[in-house]
Each structure stands twice: as structure tokens, then as C-alpha cells.
Structure 1
């Protein structure tokens, strides 16, 4: 069952209980200088690897829209996450080689939503995102994806490099989108594929890049030397689609 279409929990007790229940969270806003039971919330959040963001009271007041936040506001996932195995099962069900998109610390929710929209249209079997230093399935992502979150599995993993290793053990070739790679249309992308797209500013992390089998690049002939992450992902996804349809 999908979670409710809400992305905010307000107040110390509700947030603490949500943490104890294991509900997926994107981040927690903490009022600067808040004490008392906030300490327990901080401890639970750190245990689960939830991002903490410290702000002034006025900022939380605006976010809460008049609600009694008590110095704590949590942003929760608007939709359930899937597992990587769910994506592989979907590929098997369709009788297709796995086609996965791996986003390494992509933070912008509009980029994530755009990637999911294109991935669903291009026939990918799922999108894998990082739990830390990355955006999750918020309502902004749901809106930007134009409904793709309802149909495309999205997995949230703790360790992207380890996940890439696991995919390789399952026979999936891992391709990094990297400016130093081979021109993308020269690569054979008809087999089991995982495309790795880096963050908006840093690109693919060193550890993740080391786990990739190949690197593919998109030619840049203008004055700008890089594309928006979602645009780059779209070009590569449709190259996979083109090659598979051609085969």
C-alpha cells in the first residue's frame, strides 16, 4: 500500500513515533537551540541515517503553517520504496534484460522527478537512489514525475558502490555517465544495463565511479561543458531504448 499523500509530520511526539515505526524520512528540521526530548529524536534520526537540518524558529513557523511544531518537523516519503530485487523481477516478468538507472547523490527533487518520468517512458525497470545526501520521493518529485512514481519502482539504498557491486554479480553491466568516457552511441547497451548518473555539482563519486565497468560521454560542442543531470540521463536512456528496439 502506498503511503498517504503528505510529506510533513509536525511535533516532537509524532516525529519520534514515526522514527520508531521505521517510516521512511527525507529529512528532519530542528529548531536551533531546542532541547529536552529533541535529544531523543536526534539520537533516533542519527541511528537511521536521516538528514538533520537546523533552522531558526521563524523558518519552522513558516513551514508548519500555523501548526504547533515544538521545534521539530519531519518530511516523509510520499510513496513507498521498492527493493532492487523488485526491479529485477519486473525485468524478468517482461522478458527483458534489466535496465536500471542509478542516481549517485542526486539532490534536486525536480531532477529526480524528471529522471523518473523519462525512465518510465523509456521502459526502464527502476531507479535506484542514495539514502544519504540525496533527494527522496517527496511530493515535489511526485508532481515533477507526472505520475511516474505510481508505476516505476524506486529503491533507496545506503551504499551506492556496494549496490553496484551487487548488480555486477547479477550479470548487469554498469555504465557511468562521465565526460571522460567513450561517446555513448558507440557502446553496446542492448544487454543488462545500469546507468549511473552523478549529482548536479559533483558528478559521480570516486567510489561509485571505480565500481563501473564502462564510462560513456555525451559530446559537448557549445560553450557550456555539461548538461543538467536529468537531461543527460534522458539522452542515455533513449539510446538504450533505441539500441534495444533496433536489435
Structure 2
């Protein structure tokens, strides 16, 4: 899959802590960046034998291709996608009911990054995205995820509907999020659970929605009819976590 560019201190730190392969770390000159700012990262590089280099800002700007790099960029093996069956296996290895997030054509890298961050925090076993009309695991996604991209398995599939049917065959209940559905605070979200969040503009695709076992919604008491996809998704994931913890 080639080489991946990881930008920003948090993302680079999490990459190093994860133990995943790192080819090289490139940092802004210590003189320009403040004495000792990257001392912790330099220490980790020396411990793991990872090459590192100090450069001027122009080099970092070129490497990051316009992404905010905060004076540091890592070059690593590109993040590998997993299969949906791998995510099911991860849950079973942990002795837990599967908890899976499916994203139906999320195109904004900041939304995907934010959802990966919440997925990691809420104990989601994996995230599934479509190959078409969806952002992949880009540097912008990695930076926005604050390093969660290193820990959350992501599957990229050709057909979301077929994938949802597979997950149902594996015993999962599929809850699609869209206005007009059952209030999430009245819904039973325990047990093997797949949460499907629709794209930023159109929401759930028709066939995806028809494949869901139920449609759930957030209560909206104000004048705004909807929330940002990553905000809505995060609230729903934490409600699932709350109910799972209650048993």
C-alpha cells in the first residue's frame, strides 16, 4: 500500500507508542522549534532505532502536502485495512459482543478522524467504510483521530449492503441512525451491535437503510434539524457503551 505520512505531535506519538513500523521521523529544527520540544520523540526513536532528521519548515510543508504538521512528520508503512471477519474475530477473542461502527459514504476526513477517535474511546471493535464515495485512511484522518487510527481496525468493503447482511448472519443487530427513528434513549442497544452513520449530506442510502434492523434517532429539541455526522455518531456510540456497561 505504499508509504503513509503521519502529521502532528499527538498522531506521531501514538504511532510510536503503538509499536507499528516507522520508517523515519522528520522534525523541525530544535533551534526554531524550542529547546527540547521533541525530546520525548527523539528518545523513543533512539530506543527503537528509528532514523530521525531535523529539517526546516519548508521540507515539512512539502512532506505534509498542506496538512497541519506541528513541526513533525512520520513516514510509516501505510495503514493496512482489515476484513469485516477480522473485526468479528477481535470481539470474540475478547469474549465480548461485537460493537461495530459502519459509515455510509463519510467524505470529510475530519469526520472520519473524529469518529475513529470516539470509536477507540468507546470500545468499538472496528469500523467499516465503503470503497467508493468515502474518504480513506489519509494523513488528515490520522491527524484528526489524534492517533486513534493506529488502534482501531478499519475494513474497506465494496458493498455495504452485503457486509451488513454478513454481520447480521454473525448475530449482530444493525441500528441505522437517521431522523424519524426510535429515540436512542428508548431503544435497547445492548448485545451484538452495528451502528450505521450516514454521509454528511444525504444520510443513509436507501438500500443500506432497508437492510438495517431498526432506525434510531437523537432527540432534537432546538431549531436545528440535524447534527454533524461525527457529533451524532459519537453521542450514539456512547449511549451504546452506557447500555453495554449496565448489562
Q: Could you list the runs of 4 or more consecutive aligned residues of structure 1 that deviate by over 2 angstroms after TM superposition?
A: 2-7, 62-65
Deviation string 1:154-191 (CA, Å, 9 cap, x unpaired) is 00001111111111111100000011110001111110
What is the 5 A alignment of 1:1-247? Answer: 4-6=3-5, 78-247=78-247
Any conservation in 2 of the 1:78–1:138 contact (CA below 8 Å)?
Answer: no
| TM score, norm. by length of structure 2 | 0.70
Q: CA deviation at 1:213?
A: 0.2
Any conservation in 1 of the 2:5–2:64 contact (CA below 8 Å)?
Answer: no
Deviation string 1:16-58 (CA, Å, 9 cap, x unpaired) is xxxxxxxxxxxxxxxxxxxxxxxxxxxxxxxxxxxxxxxxxxx
Task: Rate the CA distance shift 1:202–1:138 in 2: closer, same or farther, 3 A.
Answer: same
Q: CA deviation at 1:123?
A: 0.1
Aligned residues: 181
Unaligned runs of 5+ in 1: 8-61, 66-76
Deviation string 1:123-180 (CA, Å, 9 cap, x unpaired) is 0000000100010000000011111111110000011111111111111000000111
Unaligned runs of 5+ in 2: 7-61, 66-76
Cα distance in 1 for residues equivalent to 2:246 and 2:238: 12
Q: CA deviation at 1:78?
A: 3.9
Cα distance in 1 for residues equivalent to 2:246 and 2:64: 52
Alpha-carbon RMSD:
2.0
Task: Rate the CA distance shift 1:63–1:126 in 2: closer, same or farther, 3 A.
Answer: same
Q: Secondary structure at the match of 2:4?
A: coil
